[in-house]
Amino acid sequence: MKSYSIQEINEVINGVIYGTTSQSITATEQLEKATTSEISFIGNKKYEKYWSASNASIAVVNEDISIEPGENRAFIKVKNADLAMSQILALFAPPTPIFHNNIHKSANVDETAIIGEGARIGAGCYVGPNVKIGANATIYPNVTILDECTIGKNTIIWSGTVVRERCHIGNDCIIHPNATIGADGFGFRPCKEKGLVKIPQIGNVIIGNGVEIGANTCVDRGKFSSTVLGDGCKIDNLVQIGHNSKLGKFCIMAGNSGLAGSVTLGNGVIIGGSASIKDHTTIGDGAIVGAGSGVTCDVPAGKTMLGYPAVEARDALKQWAILKRMVCDSKK
């Protein structure tokens, strides 16, 4: 079991210790459930009220905290408790699943594939012709990587993921279980003779560096050219990204949200959970789309959009206030 003193923990996060405690810390936990051997966090002043009832000996807190730690308890004050929390969680993280061999004997790796130094490939994986897997990449069991794909160095692909032919994933990415990279885009056209004719999807997917894609998410390949996810994008579980969409750097898409085909997101765009974006729409740098919203037209940079159909947040709030007042008036 890992165990750290408050001084050893503070060496990691470089905060300022207030109070004293000799208690060794063996785990992290939320305030309400923490024991004396666990460290917790107060990332917002509204949670200060829970500290007195908590059994935690140590809490990482923001610099503006207004309470005292108490007897034999201590705070580590930092500029951003949430960021410090991520460092401490990494400190206590359990080991990753074990690989007894770099390439499991049941993995099917084509003879033309190039496997980088230190890369690991788990049981039941398929690695197709002319695939390139970078140094220290980790491919967990039962992953399929089809012809001519590239996987960057240090990238982790979890079990059940399928990477279709000619798709490219950058360095330091994480692809969670059962994601699909490069499925056919949804393209059909009416035809008198056949009803609906499938439009061939002959493009690919290009994913930048430091991208994380959640479980059961699908990124469709381009009809022609590429569907592109820029560096640092973070995509939640159960997200749909349509063919030929292009995401700038550091975009966030929360669970159950979706982009139709040929959507363009600027840098730093945030898409809330269950939001949907119409095809051929452009959303500018730093814009925010609220949860459950439906975007049907272009959004300028920096705007916050709410509602269905989505309008600027202040307009949406005014509309909701008017509707609420109308309902209340009708009951009088």
- Catalytic residue positions? 243
DSSP 221-279: PPSSSEEEE-TT-EE-TT-EE-TT-EE-TT-EE-TT-EE-TT-EE-TT-EE-TT-EE-T
Q: How many helices (H) and strands (E) does the chain have?
A: 3, 37
DSSP conformational letter for 199: P
The CA distance from 235 to 225, in Å, is 22
Residues near 211 by Cβ (< 8 Å), separated by ≥ 6?
169, 170, 173, 174, 229, 230, 231, 232, 233, 234, 235
Here the tokens at position 66 are 């207004």
Which residues pair with residue 247 across a beta bridge?
229, 265
Closest listed residue to residue 96, CA positions, set 57, 70, 122: 122
